[in-house]
């Protein structure tokens, strides 16, 4: 697609915001936005990340797209309130990373969860008859315990995903693999600690990251503004979002606001959809 007024975009910084859990819908939106950055020939990209992480495959696809874009566009990542696990992985696709001193980051590792409802099902008298093509086809079935062999299979899967994570950080941040392993044990740390570990380059705000991106692209940081690439929502969704913003300060049960309750519903959906999948996800 040929975009009109290309010179206008060449004087601006593209901005993409990644918030919440990284899964299918987020991956699709971000990949489309990155394609737009390339087509419109933006000289720089400000990547704002405020995410606890997400699924392994989706995080890897976004990271790979960012790496490809580095040849054409200067990329600066800004870690927000929380940029952990898969959020860190995506950040490795940026040439430079800025974090607030108090940003919660780290949680470098892989987790896989399954539910065992065997005792509950026994109490209510429910059982399942399973016909399968191989002994491991129903691995992580919720009506029985894992066998030792199944645990070994899943542990190997997790170990391989973990090694991919560590290797990516080591290459992106020019650190020894063993150095990364020393702090990639699932712990979380602040932006200030991340700077000391070599995970980020500078401490600062999103505005500091924007100015740095402008400087890297040879633009005037005082005059250059961001062009935020957002998914175009249907009119009804935009109206609903607008109404919700008006009641954002109203408190309900336990002090939770309406947007907070909606976010909780989204999180439950994410938990259910990713049950049994390897995740690069910070779980507080």
Report pLDDT digits (tens) over 179-214. Answer: 999 999 999 999 999 999 999 999 999 999 999 999
Residue 75 structure tokens: 């990329």
pLDDT at 122: 86
**Which of 46-55, 124-133, 238-247 is the most confident on average?**
46-55
pLDDT in tens, 240-266: 444 433 333 333 333 333 334 334 556
85 is catalytic: yes
251 is catalytic: no
Specify the pairing of strand 13-19 against strand 202-203: unpaired
DSSP string, the chain: -PPS-HHHHTTSEEEEEEES-BSHHHHHHHHHHHHHHHHTT-SEEEEEEEE-EEEHHHHHHHHHHHHHHTTTSEEEEEEEEEEETHHHHHHTTSSEEEE-TT-EEE--S-B------HHHHHHHT-------SSTTTTTT-TTSPPPHHHHHHHHHHHHHHHHHHHHHHHHHHT--HHHHHHH-SS-EEEHHHHHHHTS-SEE--HHHHHHHHHHHTT--TTT--EEE--PPPPHHHHHHHHHHHHTTT---GGG--HHHHHHHHHHHHHHHHTTTS-EEE---
Sign of dihedral through CA atoms 81, 86, 88, 93?
negative
Which of the following is catalytic: 6, 28, 132, 137? 137
Predicted confidence band at 22 (pLDDT cuts at 50, 70, 90)? very high
pLDDT at 253: 34
Strand partners, 13: 44, 226
- The Cα–Cα gap between 87 and 126 comes to 40
- The Cα–Cα gap between 135 and 154 comes to 14
Which of the following is catalytic: 51, 85, 107, 161? 85
Residue 276 structure tokens: 């049994």
- The Cα–Cα gap between 51 and 40 comes to 27
The neighbour count for residue 271, using CB atoms within 10 Å, is 14
Tokens 């952990």 correspond to 84
Average pLDDT for residues 229-239, to the nearest whole number? 56
Residue 139 structure tokens: 């691995």
Tokens 């990271």 correspond to 63
Predicted confidence band at 113 (pLDDT cuts at 50, 70, 90)? confident
- Comparing 6-10, 27-31, 127-131, 132-136, the range with the smallest average pLDDT is 6-10
Domain boundaries, the chain: 1-107+187-231, 109-169, 235-278
150: Cα within 13 Å, side-chain hemisphere:
15
> In terms of CATH architecture, what is 1-107+187-231?
Alpha-Beta Complex (3.90)
pLDDT at 266: 63
Residue 65 structure tokens: 């797209």
Predicted confidence band at 232 (pLDDT cuts at 50, 70, 90)? low
Average pLDDT for residues 30-34, to the nearest whole number? 97
Predicted confidence band at 37 (pLDDT cuts at 50, 70, 90)? very high
């Amino acid at each position: 697609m040929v975009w009109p007024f290309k010179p206008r975009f060449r004087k601006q910084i593209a901005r993409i915001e990644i918030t919440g859990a990284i899964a299918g819908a987020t991956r699709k939106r971000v990949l489309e936005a990155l394609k737009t950055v390339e087509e419109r020939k933006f000289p720089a990209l400000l990547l704002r990340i405020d995410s606890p992480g997400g699924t392994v495959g989706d995080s890897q696809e976004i990271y790979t797209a960012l790496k490809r874009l580095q040849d054409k566009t200067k990329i600066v990542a800004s870690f927000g309130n929380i940029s952990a696990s898969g959020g860190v992985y995506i950040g490795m696709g940026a040439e430079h990373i800025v974090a607030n001193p108090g940003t919660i980051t780290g949680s470098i590792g892989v987790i896989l969860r399954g539910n065992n409802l065997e005792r509950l099902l026994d109490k209510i008298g429910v059982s399942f008859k399973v016909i399968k093509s191989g002994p491991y086809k129903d691995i992580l079935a919720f009506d029985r315990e894992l066998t030792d062999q199944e645990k070994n299979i899943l542990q190997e899967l997790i170990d391989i995903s973990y090694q991919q994570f560590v290797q990516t950080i080591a290459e992106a941040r020019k650190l020894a693999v063993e150095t990364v392993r020393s702090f990639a044990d699932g712990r979380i740390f602040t932006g200030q600690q991340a700077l000391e570990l070599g995970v980020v380059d500078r401490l600062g705000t999103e505005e500091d990251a924007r100015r740095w991106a402008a400087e890297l692209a040879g633009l005037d940081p005082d005059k250059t503004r961001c062009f935020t690439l957002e998914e175009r929502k249907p009119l009804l969704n935009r109206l609903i979002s607008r109404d919700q913003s008006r009641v954002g300060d109203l408190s309900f049960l336990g002090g939770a606001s309406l947007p907070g309750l909606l976010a909780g519903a989204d999180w439950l959906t994410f938990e259910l959809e990713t049950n049994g999948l390897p995740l690069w996800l910070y779980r507080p």
